[in-house]
Structure 1
């Protein structure tokens, strides 16, 4: 099995995170600041060079105004083509 960062599912997740950040009207800098992370944090996340654990993903969802559950449901729908 290939590393997750090289799988298409990872690309889908990154696209969803970026979509929700933009929908929330937030810049990468604003998201990073809200998470009390370095300015480059969101850039690294969205480019795929930084991976998030489940707790970090939950925190990011709160900043983006979407529940982790809803993000996962949207992720699964995107993977199934729905």
Structure 2
């Protein structure tokens, strides 16, 4: 997609989208491909999978903590009744 096409899907400016795309390109999470006067961006799926794999360790920790918080809140709610 072009930056304009991406910006149309969000409540933000094209300049903000371009800034994010520049950072994502530097991180090699998206690639840019010039086509005529337009530049198209696409995801680098394998890099995104690496990020997802890295985040998984934190996802498990937070899911455990949220489940523990649910248990505490349920206990407190029962005590109030």
Alignment TM-score > 0.5, same fold: no
Length-normalised TM-score, structure 1: 0.29
Length-normalised TM-score, structure 2: 0.29
Larger strand fraction of residues:
2
